[in-house]
Homo-oligomer: A and B are copies of this chain.
Amino acid sequence: MDSAILAAQGGTDPTRFVLVGTSHAGNVGAAARAMKVMGYTDLVLVKPRHADVTSHVEALAMASGALDVLAGARVVDTLAEALDGVTWACATAMTPRDFGPATYAPREHFATLATSEHRVAFVFGPERTGMSNDDVYRCHACLSIPAHPDYGSLNLAQAVQLLAYDWRQAQGGWPVVPRTVDPQLADGAAVAGLIEHWQRTLVEIGFLDPAAPKKLLPRLNQLLNRAALTTEEVHILRGIARAVGARRQRD
């Protein structure tokens, strides 16, 4: 079953995020939040610097509304333990390793991985050093986030956020909430009526010379077409024209 549907039904998405040797508790909390906003909850921590990181004050602060993901995180001693039940582990590394698995951009790899039956994990190394070679060798693919060649050092939680987002998108994504009220677009007749109304008014106030109109009206027409007016906006602009005309008559 599609994992997005699974998650929406209260089931669990099997995707796991594994943080190895994380130093900063805040990063663990931020990673939990980054996962949760994309619908992932399975977090495993391999030998974090702070053994009590799931209740560390900085982790709690950064987790914000993802305290449940943080509290549910499993702390283990080795990457091997963290990968139980996982059939496809993706290492993350800025620099590829000799003898390591092939390196891909996330989107490229996810396009095929999302159609597989694999139970997937994403593995992130310590902040300063990145993943060790031994840990990379345990993985099936290596993901490299395409970043600026001169400065490609993403914060750990940012890397988690980008992969969670790309993976969710590859799995079908979440819907974007449309604007509450769909605008009622004005049709060509309504716009033509508006132009005609303004034409009369502009002649009345002496802005437009009917004997030499030049290209004013077609230019206004194009401007209004680009703006893709709503019916409501046509009413507003006709109301203004009416007020200008009334003012003119009082003068």
Q: Which residues of A contact B (CB under 8 A)?
A: 7-8, 30, 33-34, 36-39, 62, 64-66, 94-98, 100, 102-105, 107, 142, 144-149, 151-155, 157-158, 161-162, 165, 168-169, 173-181
Contacts and interface: CB of A to CB of B under 8 A. Distances in A.
B148 A38 contact: yes
Nearest to A40: B148
A178 B39 CA distance: 30
B96 A153 contact: no
A153 B95 contact: no
A64 B24 CA distance: 14
Contact of A169 (B39, B107, B154): B107
Given A144-B177, A146-B176, A179-B98, A153 B107 contact: no
A202 to B, nearest CB: 27
Contacts of A177: 94-96, 103, 144
Contacts of A97: 179-180
Nearest to A26: B26
Contacts of A152: 37, 174
A22 to B, nearest CB: 16
Contact of A147 (B38, B149, B162, B181): B38
A66 B176 CA distance: 31
Contact of A173 (B39, B146, B175, B179): B146
B104 A176 contact: yes
B102 A153 contact: no
17 contacts: A7-B148, A36-B151, A38-B147, A64-B153, A96-B178, A96-B179, A100-B179, A102-B179, A103-B176, A103-B177, A103-B179, A146-B169, A146-B175, A154-B161, A155-B157, A157-B158, A158-B161
A103 B178 contact: yes
Given A146-B169, A179-B97, A181-B98, A155 B107 contact: no
Given A37-B151, A96-B177, A161-B161, 14 more contacts: A33-B154, A34-B155, A37-B148, A37-B158, A96-B178, A96-B179, A100-B179, A105-B173, A146-B168, A146-B169, A146-B173, A155-B157, A157-B158, A162-B162
